[in-house]
Amino acid sequence: MGLTSTTGLFNAAAEIYGVDDPVMIKKPRQKFNFSVFMEIDSAVQLTNAQRGKGFVFDKVSGVSLPDYQYNVTRLNQYNHQRFVTTRQEITPASFSFYDTVDNHWQDLLTDYSSYYYSQGLKETTFATNAINPQVDTPSGLKAISANGRFFFPKIVIGTVDTPTSGRTITMTNCMITNVAHDRLEYSDGNPIMWTVSIQPEHVAFANT
């Protein structure tokens, strides 16, 4: 760019982040420019099938992207400490969903629970006589076929960088590890939230 700039005689920040470039591709990404796309396995029976099995979930407040831990072990090489890598671990991503009146996330959560667990999150009847040697209960895991193992085979978090480019973070084979509902309080007028941790098997970055 040279010594002169439209932001002054010389501005180091403008030079580094490309403020005066025709298209600003050197700037930091902004947190609010994101979207969440969810793909649901074809074997799943949804409460509301009209939403489809591949959609942008537009009722999300925020996302904490997964972290990556690289395990390192220490070895002794002739009294010299050496460090070698062992494995890469991916931590769960955390999503904050709005608890909307149309029950968008609530329906997905109940469908998820019904898919993996017999009792799900719906009304059920438990055994009342535990003395009977033939106790029957609707609780427990369901048998899931191998080709439909993951309720969420893919969740894509996209960011918008410029009008024509962006980045996608694709989480593959995702499973819910924790769901926390909000605290209700008479003195609080903020929207009710769901906080959900989702564990992927793999994460892939791609520039679009």
Retrieve residue 153's tokens: 């085979």
3-state SS record for 87-142: EEEECCEEEEEECCCCCHHHHHHHHHHHHHECCCCCCCCCCCCCCCCCCCCCCCEC
**Taking 60 as the threshold, does the pLDDT of residue 84 lie above it?**
yes
**Higher-pLDDT residue of 127, 159:** 159
Domain assignment of residue 7, yes or no: no
**For residue 3, is it within any domain?**
no
Please tell me which residue, 168 or 6, carries the higher pLDDT value: 168
- Helix/strand/coil percentages in the chain, nearest 5: 10, 40, 45
Is position 89 within any domain?
yes
For residue 9, tell me if it sits in a domain: no
Identify the pLDDT of residue 118: 81
CB-side neighbour CA atoms (13 Å) of 31:
5
Q: Which domain holds residue 157?
A: 19-123+137-207
pTM for this predicted structure: 0.82
Kindly state whether residue 31 falls inside one of the protein's structural domains: yes
Beta carbons of 106 and 122 less than 8 angstroms apart = no
pLDDT in tens, 91-102: 999 999 999 999
Q: How far is CA 131 from CA 46, 139, 140, in A?
A: 37, 17, 19
Domain assignment present for residue 41? The answer is yes
Is the pLDDT score of 1 beyond 50?
no
**Which has the minimum average pLDDT: 22-26, 51-55, 180-184?**
22-26
Residue 162's pLDDT is what? 82
Number of domains forming the structure of the chain:
1
User: Quick one: average pLDDT of 25-37?
Assistant: 89
Distance CA 127, CA 118 (A): 14
Q: What CATH number has the domain bearing residue 109? A: 2.30.110
**Mean of pLDDT values over 28-43:** 92
For the chain, give the mean pLDDT.
87
Residue 4 counted as domain residue: no
Mean of the pLDDT values across residues 109-124? 85
Distant-in-sequence, close-in-space partners of 32: CB < 8 Å, separation ≥ 6: none
Average pLDDT estimate for 152-169: 92
Within a domain: 166: yes
